[in-house]
Amino acid sequence: MESIEMSGGGVGGDKVGFGIIGAGLIADIHARAVRAIPEARLEGIFDVSQVVAERFAGRYEIRSFPSMNDLLACPEIDVVCICTPSGLHAPIALDAIRAGKHVVVEKPMAIRMEDCDAIISESHRMGLEVAVISQLRFNPSIVRTKEAIEGGRLGRLIMASLSMKYYRTQQYYDSSNWKGTWAMDGGGALMNQGIHGIDLLLMLMGPACSVSGNARTLARKIEVEDTLNAVVEFSNGALGTIEAATSVFPGSPRKLEINGSCGTIALEEASIVKWEIEGDGRPLDFDLEHTNSSSFSDPAAISIEGHVSQLQNMIQAIRGEMGICVGPPEGRNAVELVLAIYKASQEGRVVHLG
């Protein structure tokens, strides 16, 4: 999209103003990421709990807005980061876009396809940028893997296996009135915890054309699934499997293996743990080792590096220096696959996409 003049002076050399809606766990990641970027300025926060918002504002020495409309009307805010429960992502994104703000929305982009489409339509109508948080795409190991696939080094893509066996306690779900609900979480182990893995799978393998699956609630007292498996056929003819859970003690790192006719690359979280390509040695500048991430069992164990990269990309996009790397189309694709797997499980049949 073309760059537009922003009320906070974000075009050119001035800092871009950011505001955050929702003061939960992930909001701290956004706040720290904004603070790490010289071209960015953190302006304020809004949360439905005034006490929580004021506590957050005090930590970062920013304004606490009395209402969301007050934050959206603030001329010093150019970009709004949406850090609310998933079911609120779409309505807040639409309000922000209509208020003339660029938007950074946490995963998932929305929990219904019609809402994804509305965000895409409205952002185009208003000429504003929307970024969907998919911070893993910016990791060097992920970038290296994508380059190898696109360069044909794995030959024809044959198979992919994605394993996301996480652990969340019943107390985790009981800690709020929205976690584990269809209305606000939009799904369970796959939609919430697994959406980043789904995004990477589609990024590396290309679009899916059909799915079958089984979603079950086996260990937690929640509305949505805590255990799921699925089989995917991709448009390029490759086949894939997906496992997702929040019911497995003690949990394990996300594993994604891509198999081609000429090689295999395996990732654990965002680290390359296998690089075996016919006639090709492993990259000399990469130390292949297991990740130390513990986010599979601790939702707070998230680095800010990927968020920093995405927010920097947003600044570059609204200044007209480059496009959004992970925008609404990518966010929509991940939601579409998740919902198709849910539908396949509910109806006991293969569901075709596209």
Domains of the chain by range and CATH? 16-136+306-326 (3.40.50.720), 137-296+334-352 (3.30.360.10)
Instruction: Report the C-alpha gap between 333 and 122 in whole angstroms.
Output: 18
The closest alpha carbon to 21, from 120, 133, 103, 131, belongs to 103
Query: What pTM does this model have?
Result: 0.92
* pLDDT computed for residue 13 by the predictor: 52
Instruction: Divide the 354 residues of the chain into consecutive groups of 10 and give the mean pLDDT of each group.
Output: 40 81 97 98 98 98 98 98 98 98 98 98 98 95 96 98 98 95 98 97 98 98 98 98 98 97 96 92 53 54 89 98 97 98 98 94
* pLDDT computed for residue 134 by the predictor: 96
* pLDDT computed for residue 279 by the predictor: 87
**Which are the contacts of 53, defined by CB distance < 8 A and separation ≥ 6?**
23, 45, 46, 47, 64, 65
* pLDDT computed for residue 194 by the predictor: 97
Instruction: Tell me if 187 sits within 8 A of 342, measured CB to CB.
Output: yes
